[in-house]
Structure 1
Amino acid sequence: MSADAKPEDVAVPEATWKARLKQVGPGVMAAATGVGAGDLVATMVAGSRYGYALFWAVVLGAVFKLALGEAVGRWHLASHRTMLQGWRTLGRWATTYFGIYIVIWGFIYGATAMSASALPLNALFPVLPVSGWGIVCGLLGLALVWFGRYRLLEKLMTVLVGIMFVTVVGTAILVGPNLPALGAGLVPSLPDGSVAYVLGLMGGVGGTITMAAYGYWTFAKGWRSPKWLPFMRTDNAVGYITTAIFVAAMLVVGAGMLRGANLTAGDTGLLQLGDALATDYGQWARIPFLVGFFAVAFTSVIGVWNGVSLLFADWWRTWRMPKSAPPETAADYDHAAGEKSPAYRFYLLWLTFPPMLLLFLGKPFQITIVYGVLGALFMPFLAGTLLWLLNSKTMMPAEHRSRWVSNTALGLCLLLFVGVAANELIDVLG
């Protein structure tokens, strides 16, 4: 798009289903980035303890994430503003909160993502310890994102998602789902002691700061006006339906293969599943699963290293603006410049090198707990601010403001995420 062109001037193809599916990309990036190895383990543990009884929470959680992703995308395309430009209009408190949060979160998450990616590599190739493979994964992610651009990263993520789909869903098919029990699990129920798992399945899987990066990826794709809204909604739906299938597959594995097993919390639970597959079916089942485990973890490395670095770069640019500066629009945001900015590259380095110190602590479970708390503290902020911004008469055109369906979904998301945050804090304090 030229410097003088307006977003509405860019040619938009007719919104046929074929054209929409050809444009799919940012939603897959966001969904794959948000679902990490720890999320799949949490789902597997829920299946091992409660069977298929919590399947309804998986479905409802996917609906909530779909609503939240649509809200982020609609804000960017209909208001012509980035997420940070929207938060700036709320006052200095919003950008201050986000700035403090993203710095702390990046330090903890860097270690979490590198450790999760390292575990399957260590199991496949024990020539390096987990900390060594973690450093390799961090450096590889840094190189890919530092020198690569959105189009390359989208293609790579699509390949990794394909591997995830074949291995994770293939494992569920190998185990064999109990379809009548799965259907019965659509009826809401709360077995004894299951409340924390319900909150985790609905609010935790696929829900992190990376959801806020979705709009930046839509801009990178070239979507810059409300005319792209049908494409964005299809893209978002494909991403979170895929996520729901992943999560449902792990619930099936937990219920069908590991019922009653004493699973280890944290990412190492997937290693236990790999060992169980080797025992029951042979190494031919274990090795592909570990490859899929790596794909699940490494998509989060690539997505966060790119998407959250874009958020930080936009935050730094917005933070430095004087209070008297007029509100910006999407025309003021240059995605290519953001990927080359010193702030973007600083955050890439921040995600990679300082967290390597945590890899040598040998306490990945404690790091995972801290990460879970930090993630829970962001989601209420995102849902609450979107609820306000998408109903703004000064920033959102009337035809694109939230209606009762979106407002209800976002309101329920806000309540859910507050509940998840309270549960995480109670667990830590307890």
Structure 2
Amino acid sequence: MMNPVGQVDPGPKPRRTLKELIASVGPGIIVVLTWIGAGDLVDASIAGAHYGYDLMWVLALSLIIRFVIVNVMSRYQLCNNEGISLLEGFTRLHRFYPYFLGAYGLLMGHLFNSYMIKGSGEALSHLLGFGHPFVWAIIVVISAVIFVGKSFYSRLENFMKVLLAIMTISFLVIAIWSTPSVGEIAKGTIGFGIPSDVGLYGAFLIAISLTGAVSGSVANFIYPYFMKDKGWTSPLHKRAQRNDLLFAICMAIVLDLAVWIVGAEILRPNGIEISNIDDLAQTLAITFGQFGYIIFYLGVLGALYSSVVGFATGFPKLIVDSLQTANPERRAKYAGDLERDPLFKWSSLFIIISPIVWSIPGMPGFISLVVFVNVLSVVGLPVISIGLLILSNQKSKLGKYRNNWFENFILIACTILAIWSSLKLFIGFFS
């Protein structure tokens, strides 16, 4: 039963044991491993290798933006007084939204997995030392189809916890071995400057790609669905949701910073530019031996494969929900059960299988795919943030759960930033 707007939220009972605390964490683990993929790995390592810590402020700002946007999305779904979903809220603003979000989710699910699968194939080929990356990419796709087709939420959650442990240990070991400069990190975090271009990818392009990879756009819609699968459906779960999301962002900070450190402390001093995924791994092999090479690719594989599975599980929920929201008859036919709708299976298969075309020899390289797909993801951010700004300030729906001034400031600022960046990229493309 929904609490009326204005009712005091007592929050969940305090958890006193470690076991209870671990049990409360779930959606954050899945979503952080879905978010942390090739985009973060490549953009953070290129930024560190080419520009040191000068663009560190972009990472810090992007993580703040992501926390605010996803927290506002989650709070709306938990606390609106009609018990409607986030997508239903967007649909009430304009019937354009479900069509836009469904189509955008299908497109970006395909594009995100294009480099996740390509990178997974390359990682397996280098890690095992045999087989063509395209063959391994096909194996990745087949295994993902099998896993997603048989998984339930709890199984997926446990699988993600294992990969989180592997990835965290891998990158933390590498970062510690790299002996980072704390002073330079702090300086870059408050620098707010764009350095001169270095290498194949300019500083502005990397900054925008990093913003798209870290702050996200349509990928942020995945979290509310995993949150619902966890059973978090009312204001009573708001505190648990916020803490869970904070945990996810903290993990993103650790992992992104670790990769950035490797680029700044190992690649940059040696004048090495990143043109493919093995450039970073080979440098670690020279510095730390075969163990560094193996531990890097284990972390990369964990990040990439978990994203393949996460996107194939999360994006179909958005796609089917969009279609059912736009067509109430379809929602009634399947009683609002997204996974019961045949379109869920077909969209999941599309997001897993169709990206294999980008792994065919002769297609654009892994690094280029990562940079430009994440740049493209920023283009859709204004449409989402403007709608979210309106939704999250509706007094009649949210009462005391409306945005505070800081959340409104972040939403307005990221909207302006995304529009400005898109215009500048558009002008630069045709100039």
Please indicate the TM-score interval, normalised by the length of the shorter structure: 0.7 to 0.9
Scaled by the length of structure 2, the TM-score of the pair is 0.87
* Pairing partner for 1:141 from 136, 139, 144: 144
- The 5 A counterparts of 1:273-312 are 273-312=280-319
Amino acid at match of 1:292: G
- The 5 A counterparts of 1:342-421 are 342-365=342-365, 367-368=369-370, 371-394=373-396, 396-421=397-422
Query: What's 1:320 paired with?
Result: 327
Query: What's 1:234 paired with?
Result: 243
Task: Report SS of the residue matched to 1:391.
Answer: coil
Determine if contact 1:62/1:240 at 8 Å carries over to the other structure: yes
Q: Note closer, same or farther for the CA distance 1:427–1:129 as it changes in structure 2 (3 Å cut).
A: farther
Amino acid at match of 1:247: D
Determine if contact 2:66/2:216 at 8 Å carries over to the other structure: yes
Amino acid at match of 2:171: V
Distance in 1, matches of 2:12 and 2:122, equals 44
Following TM superposition, by how much is the alpha carbon of 1:103 offset from its aligned partner in structure 2, in angstroms? 2.9
Task: Report SS of the residue matched to 1:237.
Answer: helix
Following TM superposition, by how much is the alpha carbon of 1:140 offset from its aligned partner in structure 2, in angstroms? 1.4
Q: Note closer, same or farther for the CA distance 1:429–1:253 as it changes in structure 2 (3 Å cut).
A: farther
Task: Report SS of the residue matched to 1:338.
Answer: coil
Q: Note closer, same or farther for the CA distance 1:340–1:70 as it changes in structure 2 (3 Å cut).
A: same
Q: Note closer, same or farther for the CA distance 1:404–1:102 as it changes in structure 2 (3 Å cut).
A: same
Deviations 1:382-419 (A, max 9, x none): 2221111111234x221111121211122122223334
Following TM superposition, by how much is the alpha carbon of 1:212 offset from its aligned partner in structure 2, in angstroms? 0.6
* Pairing partner for 2:135 from 132, 135, 144: 132
Following TM superposition, by how much is the alpha carbon of 1:347 offset from its aligned partner in structure 2, in angstroms? 0.5
Give the root-mean-square deviation of aligned CA atoms: 2.7
Following TM superposition, by how much is the alpha carbon of 1:36 offset from its aligned partner in structure 2, in angstroms? 1.4
Distance in 1, matches of 2:216 and 2:280, equals 24
Determine if contact 2:109/2:312 at 8 Å carries over to the other structure: no
Task: Report SS of the residue matched to 1:416.
Answer: helix
Distance in 1, matches of 2:185 and 2:51, equals 12
Query: What's 1:48 paired with?
Result: 49
Following TM superposition, by how much is the alpha carbon of 1:54 offset from its aligned partner in structure 2, in angstroms? 2.5
Number of residue pairs matched by the alignment:
412
Distance in 1, matches of 2:272 and 2:250, equals 30
Q: Note closer, same or farther for the CA distance 1:50–1:333 as it changes in structure 2 (3 Å cut).
A: farther
Following TM superposition, by how much is the alpha carbon of 1:227 offset from its aligned partner in structure 2, in angstroms? 1.1
Following TM superposition, by how much is the alpha carbon of 1:310 offset from its aligned partner in structure 2, in angstroms? 0.9
Amino acid at match of 1:264: I
Q: Note closer, same or farther for the CA distance 1:378–1:362 as it changes in structure 2 (3 Å cut).
A: same
Deviations 1:320-351 (A, max 9, x none): 2279x9xx9xxx985xx322321110111111
Following TM superposition, by how much is the alpha carbon of 1:315 offset from its aligned partner in structure 2, in angstroms? 1.3
Task: Report SS of the residue matched to 1:212.
Answer: helix
Query: What's 2:200 paired with?
Result: none
Distance in 2, matches of 1:375 and 1:55, equals 20
Gaps of 5+ in 1: 1-5
Determine if contact 2:50/2:273 at 8 Å carries over to the other structure: no
Following TM superposition, by how much is the alpha carbon of 1:203 offset from its aligned partner in structure 2, in angstroms? 4.3
Determine if contact 1:112/1:364 at 8 Å carries over to the other structure: no
* Pairing partner for 1:192 from 174, 193, 196: 196
- The 5 A counterparts of 1:25-174 are 25-79=26-80, 80-174=83-177
Distance in 1, matches of 2:360 and 2:196, equals 38
Query: What's 1:272 paired with?
Result: 279
Following TM superposition, by how much is the alpha carbon of 1:153 offset from its aligned partner in structure 2, in angstroms? 0.8
Distance in 1, matches of 2:356 and 2:391, equals 37
Determine if contact 1:20/1:231 at 8 Å carries over to the other structure: no
Relative to structure 2, which stretch is displaced further, 338-347 or 199-208? 199-208
* Pairing partner for 1:179 from 165, 182, 185: 182
Determine if contact 1:169/1:249 at 8 Å carries over to the other structure: yes
Runs of 4+ in 1 over 6 A off after TM superposition: none
Scaled by the length of structure 1, the TM-score of the pair is 0.88
Amino acid at match of 2:362: G
- The 5 A counterparts of 1:14-29 are 14-16=13-15, 22-29=23-30
Amino acid at match of 1:176: T
Determine if contact 2:209/2:371 at 8 Å carries over to the other structure: no
Following TM superposition, by how much is the alpha carbon of 1:283 offset from its aligned partner in structure 2, in angstroms? 0.4
Distance in 2, matches of 1:178 and 1:39, equals 20
Query: What's 1:3 paired with?
Result: none
Determine if contact 1:43/1:201 at 8 Å carries over to the other structure: yes
Q: Identical aligned pairs, as a percentage?
A: 25
Determine if contact 1:31/1:206 at 8 Å carries over to the other structure: no
Q: Note closer, same or farther for the CA distance 1:416–1:22 as it changes in structure 2 (3 Å cut).
A: farther
Determine if contact 1:134/1:359 at 8 Å carries over to the other structure: yes
Following TM superposition, by how much is the alpha carbon of 1:420 offset from its aligned partner in structure 2, in angstroms? 4.0
* Pairing partner for 1:214 from 215, 219, 223: 223
Following TM superposition, by how much is the alpha carbon of 1:216 offset from its aligned partner in structure 2, in angstroms? 0.8
Distance in 2, matches of 1:203 and 1:105, equals 12
Determine if contact 2:106/2:351 at 8 Å carries over to the other structure: no
